[in-house]
A and B are shown apart, each in its own frame.
Chain A
Amino acid sequence: ILNVEQSPQSLHVQEGDSTNFTCSFPSSNFYALHWYRWETAKSPEALFVMTLNGDEKKKGRISATLNTKEGYSYLYIKGSQPEDSATYLCALGGSNYKLTFGKGTLLTVNP
């Protein structure tokens, strides 16, 4: 059974703060690493899909890094805004259609 761990479980920050979360996974089972943002009453939406060790991806104020050898990925948000409030999900992609999700990090950005 694959174990995808996310920390912290929840996080409260003030508007303008920068923040980051961690996703840990068994490095021997790596195929692809996904990050999704899930706002309340909406669909989970993909932020990044990363496959290469050392990969770094950026979308606006959000960026992610990947270390497949040690089995972790970081998601960074620079200058958090209230609209960034959401649950951020990490998932490990396999070659057989499977996405194994972590429990997510719930981010609340206070104005």
Chain B
Amino acid sequence: ETGVTQTPRHLVMGMTNKKSLKCEQHLGHNAMYWYKQSAKKPLELMFVYSLEERVENNSVPSRFSPECPNSSHLFLHLHTLQPEDSALYLCASSPGGGMNTEAFFGQGTRLTVV
């Protein structure tokens, strides 16, 4: 148990659906992240929020839309995804932006786009 909770754990959606992934942390961390892991690829950073402000958007298509309403919650809104977007989506948090402290990860949402 890392203190970072993601829901749902599994999601199957059609290409015309709209769905959202949720992440929650009560560790008092200021930074929250979305990562994507596709098969045979390293974890790829998608978005970073610091103190509820987006500070990094790693060239992610607009069909992925993040939202950070407060420092404890992070959402990833999904709209008109493609089958190649099927992957494991991991949320993480860290105390601050300087990456000399560890990140705490959730268990991920396994997304399948059909």
Q: Which residues of A contact B (CB under 8 A)?
A: 4, 31-32, 34, 36, 41-46, 49, 51, 89, 91, 93-104
Contact = CB atoms under 8 A, between A and B. Distances in A.
Nearest to A43: B105
Interface of B: 2, 4, 31, 33, 40-45, 48, 50, 55-56, 90, 97-108
A103 to B, nearest CB: 5
A32 B48 contact: no
10 contacts: A43-B90, A43-B108, A44-B105, A95-B97, A96-B55, A96-B97, A97-B56, A99-B43, A99-B45, A103-B42
Given A93-B99, A98-B99, A99-B99, A43 B45 contact: no
Given A97-B56, A98-B45, A102-B42, A46 B102 contact: yes
- Main SS at interface, chain A: loop
B42 A4 contact: yes
Given A98-B45, A99-B43, 6 more contacts: A34-B99, A36-B105, A43-B105, A45-B2, A49-B101, A97-B50
A100 B101 CA distance: 14
Contacts of B43: 44, 89, 91, 99, 101
Contacts of B48: 97-98
A-B residue pairs, 3 tightest by C-beta: A93-B99, A46-B102, A101-B43
A45 B105 contact: yes
Contacts of B31: 97
Nearest to B108: A43
Nearest to B97: A97
A109 B71 CA distance: 39
A91 B41 CA distance: 13
